[in-house]
Amino acid sequence: MQRALTSALRLTRPWRPLQACGYASHGTARDPEIQVRSLAGPDQGITEILMNRPRARNALGNVLVSELLEALAQLRADRQVRVLIFRSGVKGVFCAGADLKEREQMSEVEVGVFVQRLRGLMNEIAAFPTPTIAAMDGFALGGGLELALACDLRVAASSAVMGLIETTRGLLPGAGGTQRLPRCLGVALAKELIFTGRRLSGAQAQALGLVNHSVAQNEEGNAAYHRARELAQEILPQASIAVRLGKVAIDRGMEVDIASGMAIEGMCYAQNIPTRDRLEGMAAFREKRPPRFVGE
């Protein structure tokens, strides 16, 4: 697997900034705070969003939030995106949470508007049509963990540190944490973690079911990213329409009673029936060969 991963790393398209260049408040051009890369070769279909705001430890400020929203809007319309990975370009950090230094300069009204935008960002991540994976190779605190919770799957280095620590700052989670953590871990455990502001290692998070996988960190500091990429590689060969509809059925079904959820599953299943991929899957099974799905 490592040899395949190493060779695959050579078959990538370069990082690209967003199409619209960002500008600082004084009007001069600035470097983008995220970069987007679509992988090629055997990893074609995997797209990565790399957060790269080193001086602020990838804290979620106005610019970073705007760039993430713009990237999601562009990628949502790209049918070539089969799996989306969120990762960090800052060693030792996934995302340190909301930018509290920036927030100190805001009025109460401005704070309310910003938190609403932050909540909207997490909703956009959660509603992204294809599977999303958070690769947490370092600190994921407050809004950083809320971003990861908005993803479908989470992978963490065992040495990563994560938690909804807002109560230790006189706040409460405001970007979906009070809703997504209980749905992930159950009400009692979520209350304990939020009330105490406790921090967890990647290994502890896996034991609780907060992350799908926890891996030992490597010298490069990107072990979680490599595991996330392997996980994405497992998703790639599957029928993309079935995967998308499966995500819809799960996400919408979890919000209703089981009878309504069964109805949602039935509607999603019905949409999948006429696809070429379903017919190809049946033919491949009958002919005892691997299926060749085309996303139609």
Q: What is the CATH number of the domain that holds 85?
A: 3.90.226.10
Q: Which of 53, 14, 50, 20 is nearest to 35 (CA)?
A: 50
DSSP H or E run through 200: strand 200-201
Q: State which residues form the domain around 274.
A: 240-287
Looking at the structure, tell me whether residues 245 and 185 fall in a common domain. no
Q: Indicate the burial class of 288 (C-beta count within 10 angstroms; 0-12, 13-18, 19 or more).
A: exposed
**Domain total of the chain:** 2
CA–CA distance, 139 with 57 (Å, rounded to integer):
9
Looking at the structure, tell me whether residues 212 and 261 fall in a common domain. no
DSSP H or E run through 199: none
Task: With beta carbons less than 8 A apart as the criterion, state whether 173 and 115 touch.
Answer: no
The residues near 69 (Cβ < 8 Å, ≥ 6 apart) are 117, 120, 121, 124
Looking at the structure, tell me whether residues 76 and 109 fall in a common domain. yes
The string of pLDDT tens digits covering residues 80-97 is 999 999 999 999 999 998
Q: Which residues pair with 156 in a beta bridge?
A: 136, 214
Looking at 210, 236, 262, which one is the last position of a domain? 236
Domain-located, residue 164: yes
Domain-located, residue 41: yes
Catalytic annotation, residues: 98, 143, 146, 166
Looking at the structure, tell me whether residues 221 and 272 fall in a common domain. no
More confident residue, 230 or 7: 230
Dmax over CA atoms of the chain, in Å, equals 66
Q: Which residues pair with 51 in a beta bridge?
A: 34, 88
| pLDDT bucket at 193, cuts 50 / 70 / 90 | very high
| pLDDT bucket at 8, cuts 50 / 70 / 90 | very low
Across 29-34, average pLDDT: 80
Domain-located, residue 135: yes
The distance in angstroms from the start CA to the end CA of the chain is 30
The string of pLDDT tens digits covering residues 45-76 is 999 999 999 988 999 999 999 999 999 999 99
CA–CA distance, 181 with 208 (Å, rounded to integer):
11
pLDDT at 20: 38
Looking at the structure, tell me whether residues 96 and 197 fall in a common domain. yes
